[in-house]
Chains A and B, each alone.
Chain A
């Protein structure tokens, strides 16, 4: 069965510090990988996506993520966090073989302290 694991429920970082959010997946097909961000009471905004090619992908708001097939991971990073980055972050996996249905992780809540 397809599954996505985000091992950290909460993460707190200081403003200006670097950030890494972890995502591991288990999937029976070549995956497409996504990171979404959700502010309280809002829908999901796509930060970045990986379909194929270069395993380091750049997204909006200064975020990047690296696909590591050998580790089944797609970790999200940002070199310097801003207070406005406080939100909940979701990793998601899809595949054409599964009708492009997305399977989401449980999310990581990011808190930024000044």
Chain B
């Protein structure tokens, strides 16, 4: 069964350092989402891609966060510089625009700890 892949699974970094997360969606899924989940809360959308284009980044802190999906397949989310408040789980999800565009499939997440 196809799955969304994410790496690394865990990342510990010091504040002010740069950190990057990678996501490989299910093959053929044109829509890719990055969510941030703070402990004790539900996931919150950071950025949504349709192919290589950003369609929603209204909740992305653009002064320190950036996201790209250059070839419309895999994606990278970067934080520079990291702050203590960035400690969270970062989840990637994908959906198909053809089969069932409203159903999102989630990866295992990257747990970020900023010290």
Contact = CB atoms under 8 A, between A and B. Distances in A.
Interface of A: 4, 32, 34, 36, 41-46, 49, 51, 90, 92, 94, 96, 99-102, 104-107
A51 B45 contact: no
Contacts of B40: 106-107
B106 A101 contact: no
Contacts of B107: 43
Interface of B: 4, 6, 31, 33, 40-45, 48, 55-56, 91, 93, 95, 101-109, 111
A100 B95 CA distance: 10
Contacts of A49: 102-103
Contacts of B111: 41
A43 B42 contact: no
Given A41-B111, A44-B91, A99-B48, A104 B43 contact: yes
Contacts, number: 57
Given A44-B91, A51-B102, A101 B42 contact: no
B54 to A, nearest CB: 11
B112 to A, nearest CB: 13
Nearest to B102: A32
A101 to B, nearest CB: 5
A43 B108 contact: yes
Contacts of A43: 4, 6, 91, 106-109
Given A42-B109, A44-B93, A49-B102, 11 more contacts: A36-B106, A43-B107, A44-B91, A46-B103, A49-B103, A99-B55, A100-B31, A100-B102, A104-B43, A105-B42, A107-B42
